[in-house]
Structure 1
């Protein structure tokens, strides 16, 4: 018997269809739990294409120009968005939840501390392949002064969004470090997570100017 390392050929159309189904299922699941979703530009090669003529944005961004007004939990609308295209899945922030986005050094420390504290200390936590950790919290709380001056910490509130699993970024897929099901889709108070982040600042060696806010997953005025 002769073994081969060659992978079977999968037609691109089938790959696109499977990706579309997977992304649609995720978008519907988020919408079913009251998390507003909006379609994002499709990753094609080394850039994201939204289909809008003349759009100069090459990184991940909303596919709809009026994305903030059209972000929805309506299952019919969500299903229709992913009916014909494998759009990335974006979650609109500031309504049902805010997101605290931090570097991996802080994220890992907070996750470890939360495990010592027990269940309930954290809500869902998503991680990008580029090493950005995104903590979902209840909305409305501004950043504490210890975090607000840091360019590598971003609060996503009204007018912002985050890429949600299983969206693929240029560096790789977004994944859940703490799945929503694990927390029963409950969100912690932002002050609790911010307190854990502030405590972690003194225990990790993090460059102060690692990810400029305008280059983060959040400062994306289209």
Structure 2
């Protein structure tokens, strides 16, 4: 019953994203504490795409998006690397960047030095900063385990998708910033500042591999 009640809300959100040319794909449905995609033999119980060839399936075609959510309460996933990239950071960094962006917007005025953009937050306190696509991580951030860039070949769970720990939500909704995306390097500069990395020489690459949001949920 809960899934039946959630489906219209998930469908409306997916259509809203597609209507703004954000590529959408259906995710596995949350049932109890696990996700089921309906593919025979799929061993993944964490959040993951319901389509096997999800990179080709991701679309902003509203008719196709509406059909996906017609009968099942799919999680809403957004493919990255096309309309936007995502910088995924822990909550303490996300809060500092949000505070700095608000302060800068107040100093330079609206429409100038645009560094605020949509920010989604997972129930496990991962902040996902949506930025203009295409720019790689600065070398200082590429060495940091705290920052993950989602570009081509990745995806994120979008509000109001529910995870076992709770719902994904917007800290800054797209409507709040008129669906504008900040410059990636401008946001990365604030992350460098928050991490205290200005002037630091890059050293050895980390021994522990970083995990993207998709990899983490699909583990």
TM-score by length of structure 1 reads 0.87
Give the corresponding residue for 1:88: 75
* C-alpha displacement of 1:171: 1.3
Structure 1: distance between partners of 2:4 and 2:124? 26
The 5 Å alignment of 1:141-160 reads: 141-160=135-154
Aligned to 1:213: 210
Aligned 1:115-130 pairs, distance under 5 A: 115-118=102-105, 119=110, 120-130=114-124
Contact 1:122 1:188 in 2 (8 A): yes
For 1:70, the equivalent position in structure 2 comes to 57
Aligned to 1:190: 184
Instruction: Output the CA distance in 2 between the equivalents of 1:152 and 1:202.
Output: 13
1:93-172 paired onto structure 2 within 5 Å: 93-118=80-105, 119=110, 120-172=114-166
CA contact (8 A) 1:213 1:219 kept: no
C-alpha deviations, 1:166-198, integer Å up to 9, x for none?
A: 000121100000110011001011001100111
Matched residues in 1 for 2:161 and 2:196: separation? Answer: 33
Number of residue pairs aligned between Structure 1 and Structure 2: 202
Shift of 1:62: 0.2
Mapped to 1, the partners of 2:97 and 2:24 lie a distance apart of 27
Cα deviation 1:15-73 (Å, max 9, x = unaligned): 32220000000000000000000000011111111011111111110000011001011
For structure 2, the 5+ residue unaligned runs are 198-205
The answer (yes or no) to whether the contact 1:40–1:87 under 8 Å persists in 2 is: yes
Q: Is the 8 A contact 1:154 1:218 kept in 2?
A: no
Look up the SS of the partner of 2:213 in the other structure.
coil
Task: Mark the CA change 1:152 to 1:58 in structure 2 (over 3 Å): closer, same or farther.
Answer: farther
Deviation at residue 212 of structure 1 after TM alignment: 5.6
CA-to-partner distance for each residue in 1:134-181, whole Å, 9 max, x for gaps? 000111100011111122311000000000000001211000001100
SS, match of residue 16 in structure 1: helix
Q: 8 Å contact 1:156–1:218 — kept in the other structure?
A: no
After superposition, the CA RMSD in angstroms is 1.8
